[in-house]
């Protein structure tokens, strides 16, 4: 009896280990169990094996953006002036900073990433490199912003899709801090992961609405990601203007995908979208619990 149990267990382990991908790096950091895997010409970054991948890189073309949501993030470009100063909160596999660096060689890029191991991994396995115009600060995004007076054209918030949401990056106080670092025409792009409709997602919409004059939501289509665009300046940018500018940017910068096409099918103006949840604040942001509560 006991032998049979062990055999079943062994077979189970053998099949579950027989993945099609190769693990090329596995390491423990203070925050994650970091995996780098390879499969079919792509290299992936994952935190904790059971969860989805954080980032993907086409090995033959490190600038190529594999995921639709990673492309959608650059919708932000259609809402602001030619960006000169840009901030990324959260580095991950660095696909977005690399893409941006490639197409906007003149811009200055700051990156705040809390996990030093993630920075090492991005450099070693994802062809990311710092230079005189692109610097990484190993810091919590909010601490980095509170200690800085710099203003940006574009701020990318990409720190929400890990196992637990850092609640202090979801609140109105944080959003106000972010807004304080925007130039007059500045834009914030946030990557919110929400595979189902839950109360956290609603509350986050409400919080963005409470802090910024305009909110646009671009659903990631093939994944549970939603790209939130918020602007410092009031006034709706209508769909046709966004799409025209996206087309112009795609042409001029020679993107490998058609940003205009993507925005044409995903543009949602959400400034007045009704939300039943409360605004998240430093004093009350039960994001983990809200995330487990579905909305009808």
Partner 1 sequence: MTLRKTILYSIVLVSGAVVLSLEILASRILQPKFGSSVFVWGSLIAVFMAGLAAGYYLGGHLSDRFTSFIDFGLLLLLSAVLLGGLPVFSTQVCGAIFRALHTDSVERTGPLLASLALFFIPTTALGTVSPFAVRLLADDPSRLGRQVGALYALSTLGSIVGTLGTTFYLILWLQMPLAIFLLGVIQALLAFLALAYGLLGRSAK
The DSSP bridge partners found for residue 281 are: 284
Identify the residue among 67, 173, 210, 213 touching partner 1 (CB under 8 A).
173
Span of 6-14, 86-94, 127-135, 160-168 interacting with partner 1 by CB under 8 A: 160-168
CA atoms within 13 A on the CB side of 143: 9
- If the CB atoms of residues 171 and 194 are measured against partner 1, the closer one turns out to be 171
Is there a contact between 98 and 62 (Cβ–Cβ < 8 Å)?
yes
**d(Cα 89, Cα 190) in Å, to the nearest integer?**
9
Q: Among 25, 62, 130, 166, which residue sits at the site for partner 1 (rule: CB under 8 A)?
A: 166
Q: At what angle do helices 259-266 and 239-253 cross, to 10 degrees?
A: 160
Distance (Å, whole) CA 76 – CA 198: 25
Q: Pick the closer one to partner 1 by CB: 78 or 165.
A: 165
Sort residue 165 into left (φ over 0), alpha (ψ -120 to 50) or beta. Answer: beta
Query: For residue 117, what are the CA distances in angstroms to 24, 224, 262?
Result: 15, 26, 33
CA angle (190 as vertex; 188, 192 as ends), nearest 5 = 160
What binding mask, one character per residue, do residues 109-128 give for partner 1 by CB under 8 A, x or -? -----x--------------
Strand partners, 215: 230
Contacts with partner 1, 243-282, as mask; x by CB under 8 A: --------------------------------------xx
* Residue 283 touches partner 1, criterion: CB under 8 A: yes
HEC per residue, 88-119: EECCCCCHHHHHHHHHCCCCEEEEEECCHHHH
Q: Determine the interface stretch with partner 1 among 95-103, 170-178, 202-210, 223-231 (rule: CB under 8 A).
A: 170-178
- Which structure tokens are listed for 26? 């596995």
Q: Does 3 bind partner 1 (CB under 8 A)?
A: no
Q: Site residues for partner 1, window 125-154 (CB under 8 A)?
A: 139-143, 146-148
| E strand map for 19-105 | 22-28, 33-39, 42-47, 53-58, 85-89
Specify the residue, 166 or 213, whose C-beta has the smaller distance to partner 1.
166
Catalytic: which of 158, 196, 261, 283?
Answer: 158
CB of 139 to partner 1, least distance (A): 6
Decide if residue 284 touches partner 1 (CB under 8 A): yes
Task: Scan for tokens 């980032």, then name that residue.
Answer: 55
Place of tokens 């490190």: 62
Maximum separation of any 2 CA atoms in the chain, in Å: 72
Residue 158 annotated as catalytic: yes
To partner 1, the closest distance from the beta carbon of 292 in angstroms equals 10
Residue 289 CB, shortest distance to partner 1, in Å, is: 5
**179 binds partner 1 per the rule CB under 8 A:** no
Task: Output 272 or 284, the one with its CB closest to partner 1.
Answer: 284
Q: Is residue 183 near partner 1 by the rule CB under 8 A?
A: no
Residues in 15-74 at the binding interface with partner 1, rule: CB under 8 A:
30-31
Instruction: Output the six-digit token pair for 40.
Output: 């079919």
Interacting residues toward partner 1 by CB under 8 A: 30-31, 114, 139-143, 146-148, 166-169, 171, 173-174, 281-284, 286, 289-290
Show which residues are catalytic: 158
């Amino acid at each position: 009896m006991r032998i049979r149990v062990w055999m079943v267990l062994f077979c189970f382990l053998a099949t579950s280990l027989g993945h099609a991908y190769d693990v090329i790096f596995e390491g423990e950091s203070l925050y994650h169990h970091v995996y780098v895997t390879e499969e079919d010409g792509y290299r992936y970054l994952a935190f904790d094996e059971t969860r989805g991948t954080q980032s993907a890189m086409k090995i033959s073309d490190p600038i190529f953006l594999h995921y639709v949501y990673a492309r959608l993030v650059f919708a932000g470009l259609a809402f602001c002036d030619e960006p000169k100063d840009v901030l990324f909160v959260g580095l991950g596999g660095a696909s977005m900073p690399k893409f941006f660096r490639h197409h906007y060689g003149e811009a200055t890029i700051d990156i705040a990433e809390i996990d030093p191991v993630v920075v090492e991994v991005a450099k070693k396995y994802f062809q990311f490199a710092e230079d005189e115009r692109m610097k990484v600060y190993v810091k919590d995004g909010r601490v980095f912003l509170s200690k800085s007076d710099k203003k940006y054209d574009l701020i990318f918030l990409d720190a929400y899709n890990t196992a637990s949401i850092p609640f202090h990056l979801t609140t109105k106080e944080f959003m106000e801090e972010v807004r304080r670092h925007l130039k007059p025409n500045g834009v914030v792009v946030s990557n919110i992961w929400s595979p189902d409709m839950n109360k956290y997602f609603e509350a986050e919409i409400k919080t963005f609405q409470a802090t910024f004059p305009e909110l646009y939501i671009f659903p990631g289509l093939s994944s549970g990601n939603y790209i939130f665009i918020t602007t410092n300046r009031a006034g709706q940018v209508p769909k046709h203007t966004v799409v025209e500018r996206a087309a112009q940017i795609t042409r001029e910068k020679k993107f490998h995908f058609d940003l205009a096409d993507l925005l044409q099918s995903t543009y949602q103006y959400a400034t007045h979208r009704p939300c039943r949840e409360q605004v998240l604040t430093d004093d009350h942001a039960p994001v983990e619990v809200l995330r487990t509560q579905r909305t009808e």
